Amino acid sequence: MPYIYTQQFYYINSAYKLNEIIQQYQHIIKQDPVARCMIGFVAAQLIRDPTFSLPVESIEDWLKSREPIKDTDNVTSENNSDLNTLMDILKGICYESPSEEPCENEMNTDKITAYHEPSAQTTNKLCRYTSRSPYDFRISQE
């Protein structure tokens, strides 16, 4: 039987629980923009940081407290596809076999490569707001 690191097992278990919550409260998440944002931010944090402590009970309690909107005209297919995409990503985390090599998915690799390629118009200067006093804001470029 293969040994699974506790941290990786916790990460997979958290992704699985979040996916179950999304499936269970899908009708609320589709209709409530605040719920969509909250689930999106939690999922993004979980995907970025495997050590993220997922507050499953508080998320579920909060979703239970949300009232579904009676008007279903606001539900669009775009929201449904976004939710399905998020659930697919979480399922991918749950059912990935632990390995040293990164996954090779042609479609996702193209998107990531295209995102990280610097364009010719990109500059390395950063604009930062600096303040000498509470009411004096200046922009400095580095």
pLDDT value of residue 24: 92
Across the range 70-99, mean pLDDT stands at 61
The 3 state secondary structure assigned to 2-39 is CCCCHHHHHHHHHHHHHHHHHHHCHHHHHHCHHHHHHH
pLDDT value of residue 94: 67
Across the range 99-128, mean pLDDT stands at 45
Backbone angles phi, psi at 69, to 5 degrees: -75, 135
Instruction: Give the residue with greater pLDDT, 7 vs 9.
Output: 9
Backbone angles phi, psi at 104, to 5 degrees: -110, 100
Across the range 30-52, mean pLDDT stands at 87
Instruction: Give the residue with greater pLDDT, 50 vs 59.
Output: 59
SS3 of 133, please? Answer: strand
Q: What angle do CA 94, 99, 50 make, to 5 degrees?
A: 50
79 pLDDT band, cuts 50/70/90, is low
Across the range 52-64, mean pLDDT stands at 87
- CB count in 10 Å sphere of residue 130: 9
- Please state, in angstroms and as integers, the Cα–Cα distance from residue 5 to each residue in 10, 11, 46, 89, 92, following that order: 9, 10, 17, 21, 18
Residues sharing a CB contact under 8 Å with residue 115, sequence separation 6 or more, in sequence order: none
75 within 8 A of 30, measured Cβ to Cβ: yes
Model confidence at 124: pLDDT above 70: no
